[in-house]
Amino acid sequence: MITESVWNRSVGRQLHNGREDVLLQAAFGGDFSAAAPEEGEAVVLSEAPVTYTGFHAGKLAVTAGFNKIAASGARPLGAMISLLLPTAAAEETLRDMIGEMEQVCQSAGAVILGEQIETTRMVQAPLAVVTGVGTVKKELLKKPSMAEPGMDILALNWIGIEGTLILAGEKGEELRTRYAQRFLDQAAELEAYLPVWKEAQIAAQNGAAAMHSVSEGGIYGALWEMAQSSGIGLEIDLKKIPVRQETIEICEFFDLNPYKMISGGCMLIASGNGEAVLRAVRQVGGRAEKIGKAVPGNDRVLIRDGERRFLENVQMDEIRKIIKT
C-alpha cells in the first residue's frame, strides 16, 4: 500500500504541470479528475499498457498514450495512470517512474490527471497502464478507417525504435558480446524520437486523412489494422519503409523481424496528397517517407525488388520472443 507520506514525497512533489482547462487533477486519495474542453471539441481517450518490460515502463506508457491520441489529430491534455509495483520495490522506483511520466507530460503540455498506485505480489516488475486524454475540434477528428483507395501511405519516423530501445536496455550485457558500448549508447539515444504527437498534429492539419500509431505487431500489424478498418487493399514497397541501422543490427543479433517488432514512435498516415504532408512534417524537422498506396479490394501486397507477396496479420510481437511475460 502506498501511504500518504510516500505519495507526497514521491508523487505529489513531482507534479508541477497545470492547465486552465483541467479543473481537478491527481491528488492523494482522489477518485476522479475533471476537465472542461472548449466548445466544439471532442474528447479522445486511448489506453496504453506496457506489460512486456519494466524498462522505463511509465515513460513508454505515457508516450504511447499520447502518440495514440495524436493519431486522431488531437493534442494531449493529460494522462490517467495506473501502476502496479512489486511488493519489494523501493520507493526510489516509484519516484523515478513518476518523474519520467511527468517529464513526458511536460514536453507535451499535458498533466497527470490522476493515478492509482498499488504494490502487489502478482507482478515481478513494474507494470504501467496509461489512459491518454486529448481534445480535438470535431471537424478535424481523424479515424483509422478513413483511408481510401488512391491515397498515399506514409510512415512517420522509423520502425522498431521502441523495440530497439528496450532490447538495448534490457539485453545490453548480451549485446556487448558483439557491439561496442558506443553502439549501445546510440541505440539508447533513440528514446528522443519516441514522441511524435507534434509531427502528427502537423500532418493532421496538412492533408492526413487517417493515422494509426504503430505499436505491438510493428509496421506489418499496423498496416493490416489500417487496411482492415478502412476496407482497402495496399501496395507497400518494403525498401521505402524507414529503419535505423541500430534496429537492423540488434534484430539480426536476436534473429528478429524488425517489421513485426513494437514500433512506438512510428505512425502510419494515409493522405490524398502525400507530398503536402511530407513537406509539412519535414519543415518542422520531422521524418516521413512515402511507402506505398492504398488500392481497391482486399489484397495487401508487400513489394521488394519486383517480388510480390501478401501481407499477413501478426500473431505475436517479435520482442516477446526475447522478453518473456
- The single-letter DSSP state of residue 38 is P
pLDDT at residue 207, as a whole number: 94
Same-domain check for residues 266 and 159: yes
Domain span at residue 153?
144-321
Give the range among 18-22, 175-179, 195-199 with minimum mean pLDDT.
Answer: 18-22
pLDDT at residue 293, as a whole number: 98
The radius of gyration computed from the CA coordinates of the chain, to the nearest angstrom, equals: 20
Last residue of a domain, one of 112, 140, 168: 140
6 vs 173, higher pLDDT: 173
Give the model's confidence band at 186: pLDDT under 50 very low, under 70 low, under 90 confident, else very high: very high
Across the range 310-323, mean pLDDT stands at 92
Give the model's confidence band at 234: pLDDT under 50 very low, under 70 low, under 90 confident, else very high: very high
Give the range among 28-32, 61-65, 97-101, 217-221 with minimum mean pLDDT.
Answer: 28-32
Give the model's confidence band at 325: pLDDT under 50 very low, under 70 low, under 90 confident, else very high: low
Same-domain check for residues 190 and 91: no
Last residue of a domain, one of 124, 140, 156: 140
pLDDT at residue 312, as a whole number: 92
| CA dist list (Å): 155 to 163, 215, 218, 235 | 17, 13, 12, 14
Pick from 81, 51, 85: nearest CA to 66 = 81
For the cut 80, the answer to whether the pLDDT of residue 72 exceeds it is yes
Same-domain check for residues 126 and 148: no
For the cut 70, the answer to whether the pLDDT of residue 281 exceeds it is yes
**Whether the model pTM is above 0.85:** yes
Last residue of a domain, one of 110, 140, 170: 140
Same-domain check for residues 131 and 149: no
pLDDT at residue 237, as a whole number: 97
Locate 76 and state its grid cell. Answer: 494531449
Same-domain check for residues 148 and 266: yes
Q: Which amino acid is at 101?
A: M
Pick from 27, 216, 46: nearest CA to 131 = 46
Same-domain check for residues 203 and 314: yes
Number of domains in the chain: 2
pLDDT at residue 123, as a whole number: 86
pLDDT in tens, 4-25: 788 778 777 777 777 877 767 7
Same-domain check for residues 119 and 152: no
pLDDT at residue 12, as a whole number: 75
Question: Which residues on neighbouring strands pair with residue 44, listed in sequence order?
Answer: 134
Same-domain check for residues 177 and 312: yes
Average pLDDT of the chain is 91
Looking up residue 60, the CATH number of its domain turns out to be 3.30.1330.10
pLDDT in tens, 252-278: 999 999 999 999 999 999 999 999 999
Q: Which amino acid is at 150?
A: G
Specify whether the CB–CB gap between 249 and 144 falls below 8 A.
Answer: no
Give the model's confidence band at 31: pLDDT under 50 very low, under 70 low, under 90 confident, else very high: low
Could you tell me how far CA 40 lies from the centroid of its own chain? 27
Could you tell me how far CA 114 lies from the centroid of its own chain? 20
Exposed e or buried b per residue across 108-129, where buried means at least 16 C-beta atoms within 10 angstroms of its C-beta = bebbbbbbebebeeebebbbbb
Same-domain check for residues 113 and 156: no
